Amino acid sequence: MPGDRLLSQEEIDSVFRSLKEKSRVEEPARKAVPYDFRRPDRIAKHQLRAIHLLHENFARNLASSLSAYLRAYVIVNLVSVEQLSFAEFSQCLPSPSCLVSLAMRPYDGNAVLEINPSLVFPILEMLLGGSGRSGAKINREVTEIEQSILDGLYRIILHDLKQAWAPVTTIDFTIEARETEPQLLQIMSPNEAVLAIGLEVRMAENTGMMNIAMPSIIVKMLRQKFDQQWSVRRAESTAEEQARILRLIKPASIQLDARLRGPTLPARDLLELEPGDVLELDYPLDRPLDILINGVAKFRGSIGTTGRKRAFLIREAIQVRD
């Protein structure tokens, strides 16, 4: 046709380029999620949330226990709960540090507990009678004598950790080995997945991290016990929580009103009222009144007297709709 226009080579290339890009975007392979076969023990997100709540309770209990043990105000905050390889976890730890390998009986495998030197040496100073406020940064390995002094601290931490896991399963955490260099603590393969829990500890103007690593495969094995814990907690909380709340609210005071819900009156008519005027409420004498509890209508009935006191005779309950 005479009105047709010939396309240039650049316009032709542009058309093919746009079609090629469109087909590339729509490829199913582009929507695939990468899977790392070196880390098959991925933990479900709902289980990670449950573990997060579990270690929040651990942090609160540990803060109270350390405050009593060290006779100082201690704050423990849960910073992170994430899944890493053991190599990544080890690389994040300072060197030298204070590490212990923990048996997790009756389960096979070992966990790792690490306390930063910025916490260890102030704690040692406080246990030996000091204030822990010297502010001097010490970067050396912990001696054998200092390790024995820290045994009491480990007992408290492992006791609270066991109590935190008790609603899910019984794990007896015991120290099997001690180390000062993270690279020398070879209790897992570098690619093995671990659950890393990071806690920030503040005390006597000192702040440091305490890190715990557990094999992900053991945590994943407990998935069913996590589900049982939350289902049992929901079943038990229904009766127990209702009884507890009832005990708490029994001595509470409430506002009780009997209301006569009649017609409205314009403000101008109200201003013109004079002594002797009669107001017709258009309210039958046999019509029931509403009784309100803290402003919410609960019952209908009629007002009467019992002796010298006013009373309200309840005739029916009002169904409250949500």
So where are the chain's domains? 45-221, 254-271+280-322
Would you place residue 1 in the very low, low, confident or very high pLDDT band (cuts 50, 70, 90)?
very low
Asked whether residue 157 carries a pLDDT value surpassing 60, the answer given is yes
30/320 Cα distance (integer angstroms): 54
- The mean per-residue pLDDT over the stretch 35-62 comes to 75
Q: Has this prediction a pTM greater than 0.75?
A: no
70/227 Cα distance (integer angstroms): 37
What homologous superfamily is domain 254-271+280-322 in, according to CATH?
SpoA-like (2.30.330.10)
Fold classified for 45-221:
Chemotaxis protein chec (3.40.1550)
Asked whether residue 42 carries a pLDDT value surpassing 80, the answer given is no
**Could you tell me which residue, 242 or 113, shows the higher pLDDT?**
113
Asked whether residue 64 carries a pLDDT value surpassing 80, the answer given is yes
The length of the chain is 322
Asked whether residue 229 carries a pLDDT value surpassing 60, the answer given is no
Phi and psi of 99, rounded to 5°?
A: -120, 145
Residue 199: count other Cβ atoms within 10 Å of its Cβ.
Answer: 23
List, in order, residues 6 or more apart from 92 with CB less than 8 Å away. Answer: 211
Asked whether residue 181 carries a pLDDT value surpassing 60, the answer given is yes
